[in-house]
């Protein structure tokens, strides 16, 4: 791989991270008028599954964007813990090429249920040091938001059952292998390392060699 190709691929990957972060942010804002109906969990899981560490970086950028949009409060701690956890969990699944829709749905529902517990713990003052009647106050806050948590769980149950596998399969199909995580290796193609950019298949190498030859002929 030539230096020119490497720089171009790194630029494309940075742009891809920016697009992923923007997609999550726009998706969240688009559904903000419907309480706890969201696609952020689906998008974070998908990007983690297919793009690995790049998806995790995009998730942290999304959290930072949320701080600029809404300011800082206790929810920031919840977001910093929860959304990267979703992305990282599905990144591990992706690295093992494990794309069973029912297992993915079970994990997503479990994580979504954990979100309600985590946000209630943070809102109760988990890190404040104020422990007086902590669990009593936690139970009040959790029960108060239970209807919203159930809505979010049902939303992700349906999304992951119906959308997650087709979406990850489609991205895996259309996105060049060198920009994806190590899990995205097509059957019948031998994967080759790519200096931290992702994964290269033999077909990608041949395409890049052809591109390099074309660049060389143009410069003559």
Reported as type and span, the H/E element at residue 200 is strand 199-201
Question: Is 186 inside any structural domain?
Answer: no
Which residues have CB under 8 Å from 58's CB, separation 6+? 17, 18, 20, 21, 24, 47, 51
Question: Is 199 inside any structural domain?
Answer: no
Using CA atoms, how far apart are residues 128 and 55, in angstroms rounded to an integer? 31
Question: Is 18 inside any structural domain?
Answer: yes
pLDDT of residue 98: 81
Question: Is 191 inside any structural domain?
Answer: no
The string of DSSP codes covering 144-178 is: HTHHHHHHHHHHHHHHIIIIIHHHHHHHHHHS-GG
pLDDT of residue 37: 93
Evaluated on CA atoms 42, 70, 152, 155, the torsion sign reads negative
CATH of the domain at 151: 1.10.1760
pLDDT of residue 9: 78
pLDDT of residue 167: 94
Question: Is 189 inside any structural domain?
Answer: no
pLDDT of residue 127: 64
The Cα-based distances of 178 to 91, 110, 172 in angstroms read 16, 32, 11
pLDDT of residue 199: 42
Domain that holds residue 40: 3-176
pLDDT of residue 97: 80
pLDDT of residue 198: 42
Consecutive 10-residue averages of pLDDT for the chain (220 residues):
73 92 95 92 96 95 94 91 97 87 95 95 78 87 93 96 94 79 46 39 48 48
**Which contacts qualify for 214-217: CB closer than 8 Å, 24 or more apart?**
215/2, 215/4
Question: Is 212 inside any structural domain?
Answer: no
Into how many domains does the chain fold? 1
Question: Is 128 inside any structural domain?
Answer: yes
The Cα-based distances of 208 to 1, 2, 54, 116, 215 in angstroms read 7, 9, 22, 47, 10
Question: Is 66 inside any structural domain?
Answer: yes
Q: Report the largest interatomic distance among the alpha carbons of the chain, rounded to a whole angstrom.
A: 78
């Amino acid at each position: 791989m030539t230096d020119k190709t490497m720089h171009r691929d790194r630029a494309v990957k940075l742009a891809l991270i920016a697009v992923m972060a923007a997609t999550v942010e726009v998706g969240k804002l688009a559904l903000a008028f419907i309480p706890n109906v969201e696609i952020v969990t689906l998008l974070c899981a998908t990007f983690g599954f297919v793009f690995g560490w790049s998806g995790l970086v995009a998730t942290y950028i999304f959290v930072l964007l949320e701080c600029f949009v809404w300011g800082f409060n206790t929810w920031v701690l919840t977001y910093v813990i929860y959304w990267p956890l979703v992305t990282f969990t599905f990144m591990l699944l992706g690295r093992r090429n494990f794309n069973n829709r029912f297992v993915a749905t079970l994990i997503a529902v479990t994580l979504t249920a954990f979100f309600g517990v985590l946000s209630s713990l943070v809102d109760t003052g988990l890190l404040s040091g104020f422990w007086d009647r902590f669990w009593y106050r936690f139970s009040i806050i959790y029960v108060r938001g239970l209807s919203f948590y159930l809505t979010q769980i049902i939303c992700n149950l349906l999304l992951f059952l119906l959308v997650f596998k087709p979406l990850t399969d489609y991205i895996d199909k259309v996105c060049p292998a060198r920009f994806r995580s190590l899990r995205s290796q097509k059957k019948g193609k031998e994967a080759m390392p790519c200096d931290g950019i992702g994964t290269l298949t033999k077909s990608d190498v041949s395409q890049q060699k052809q591109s390099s030859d074309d660049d060389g002929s143009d410069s003559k």
